[in-house]
A = this chain, B = another copy of it.
Amino acid sequence: MAEAITPRSKDYAQWYVDIVTHAKLADYSPVKGSMVIRPRGYAIWERMQSILDDLFKETGVQNAYFPLLIPQSFLEKEKEHVDGFSPEVAVVTHGGGAKLEEPLILRPTSETIIWSMYKKWIHSWRDLPLALNQWANVIRWEKRTRLFLRTTEFLWQEGHTAHATREEAQQRTLQMLEVYRHFAEDYLAMPVLTGIKSESEKFAGAEYTYSIEAMMQDKKALQAGTSHDLGQNFGNSFDVRYQTKEGTLESVWATSWGVSTRLIGGLIMTHSDDRGLVLPPKIAPIDVAIIPIFRSNNKAKVFEFAQRAQHDLKEHGLRVFFDNDESTNPGWKFAECELSGIPVRIELGERDIDAGQFVLVRRDTLEKETVAKDALVARIKEILVNMQADLYQKALTFRKENTYEFTDYAQMQHFFNETAGGFAQGLWCGSAQCESKVKNETKATIRNLPFSLNQHPHQGKCLICGEKASHKAVWGRSY
C-alpha cells in the first residue's frame, strides 16, 4: 500500500476515489467518462451477477441478448422516452468506411429495440407472459462522471417483460423490486427504502417507477435499482398486440427493471472505512486470507501448516487466499487485506502452530481473537454470519439516526442547508411545484414515497404548501 487513503472526515469525495483506485477496483480510461473495471472490482460484479441471475431465473426470467446499435428513429417512437434520452445518446454515423443512411444510437436502455422484436414474437395469449433479461453495456453521455456511480458506459442488467393484463405487469414490477430489496439488504447488507418515485423522477416512458434507495455514509441518497411499470406505452408505440382467448386484439403490457455497476459504488460507500474496503461476506470474492509469518528457518513448517488450513477451509466451501508471496512482509499483507476488504484474515506464525491455534482478525471491527485448531472452520463461518448481520444493522442504525420527520418547511430547509443533512420525511401534496421548490432551495429531491411510510393514507397537510396531503415522501440529496 504505497499511498494513504484520505480520511472520510477530511474529504469524503477524495476518500471514495482513493478507495476505488488504491484497492484497484477501477481506473480512469483515456476516454473521458469511461472507466476500466479492474479484476478486484470485476470480481465483485461477478458475485453480484451470479446471485442476481439465480434470483431472476427463480422467477421464470430467461436471459437473451439484443443489439447495441439501435436505429435513431426507434427512440422517437415513444414520446416521453425520446425526450428523456435524446440529450444523452452517442451516435454512430459511419460504418465500414462509409456514411450510414440512418444514424445508429448506442443503447442508453433497450426498450425500443426489444419491443421491435416483441412485435415479431408476440401474436397470441399463448406467447405471454414473456420475461427476458440481458446483461449488457449501455452508453449515456454524462457531463459529470464518477467511478462506478455515473459513467458514460456502464454494465447492467435490464429485464423486459410483456404481459396480457395490467395486473400481471403491476405484479411483475413489484416482484422485481422485491428481488432488488432482498438482494440489497440480504446480500449487500445495504438497507433500502422501497417505494414509488414521483412523477418528475420517474423513468422516461414509464407509468410508474419504483426504486430502492440507500443512504451512504455522507448521508446522501443513492438510487440503487429501479423497476418500471410501463403500462401499454411501448406496446402501443411498437404496435405489439396479442389475440386473446376470446379472439379480440389487445395491446401488450410491459415492465422493465435494472441494476448496474453503480451498486459497487453504493457497496463501497455503505460499509468501507479509512483503511479500505469493507465487504459483506456474502458478496466478498474471497472469505479468508491466510498470512504466514515466517523466517527462512521455519518457512517450510509454516507454509505446510498454512496449506493444510487452506485445504480444510476450501473443503468446507470457503473461498481462501493463501498469500505466499515472499517479497513482501506480513505488515504489508495485513494492510492489503484491509484495503481489499477480505472479511477474515488468519495471521499464522510458528508459535501459533506449536500452540495448536490460529489468530483471526475480522475486517470490519478489526477484533483479533485466538481460536483452537479444531474450531477454525466453525468459528470462521460464525464470524462471517455475524459480520454480515452486523454490517446491515450498523447501516440501518446509521440511516435511522440520520432520518428526521419534518412538519415545518423552514426546519427542513435548515436541515439540508445548514447541517450535514440526511433523509427528511414529511407529508407532500403531490404537486410538482412543491417538489421543485424544495429542489431549488435545498438541492434535495424526493427519493421515493416509501411503502413503509404509506401503508395507510395520511390525513394532513403538505409540509411545503400546507395543502391537503395523503402521502409521505422522503427527501435527500443524492448521487
Contacts and interface: CB of A to CB of B under 8 A. Distances in A.
Report whether over half of chain A's contact residues are helix, strand or loop; otherwise say mixed: mixed
A104 interface: yes
Contact of A69 (B65, B71, B120, B152): B152
Contacts of A404: none
A164 B70 CA distance: 43
Given A42-B63, A64-B38, A65-B37, A97 B93 contact: no
Contacts of A152: 69, 95
Nearest to A70: B31
A260 to B, nearest CB: 12
Given A63-B46, A93-B94, A94-B93, A120 B68 contact: no
A36 B66 contact: yes
A211 interface: no
Contacts of A37: 64-65
Given A92-B92, A92-B106, A143-B96, A30 B116 contact: yes
Contacts of A137: 68, 136-137
B90 A95 contact: yes
A90 B88 contact: no
B65 A155 contact: yes
A296 interface: no
A377 interface: no
A153 interface: yes
The 8 closest A-B pairs by CB, nearest first: A96-B141, A34-B67, A39-B62, A37-B65, A91-B94, A90-B95, A95-B141, A93-B93
Contacts of A120: 27
A398 interface: no
Contact of A74 (B30, B35, B67): B30
Interface in A87-109: 87-97, 103-104, 106
A30 B384 CA distance: 49
Contacts of A327: 126
Contacts of A42: 62-65
Taking residues whose C-beta sits less than 8 angstroms from the other chain, chain A's interface range is: 35 or more
B113 A67 contact: no
A29 interface: yes
A90 B92 contact: yes
Interface in A14-43: 27, 29-31, 34-39, 42-43
A162 B324 CA distance: 22
A7 B470 CA distance: 66
Nearest to A261: B65
A348 interface: no
A64 B74 CA distance: 32
A117 interface: yes
Contacts of A5: none
A395 interface: no
Contact of A36 (B27, B67, B139): B67
Nearest to A155: B65
B30 A71 contact: yes
Interface in A32-64: 34-39, 42-43, 45-46, 62-64
A189 interface: no
Interface string A143-168: 10000000011010000000000000
Nearest to A40: B62
B39 A132 contact: yes
A322 to B, nearest CB: 14
A420 B92 CA distance: 42
Contacts of A62: 39, 42-43
A111 to B, nearest CB: 14
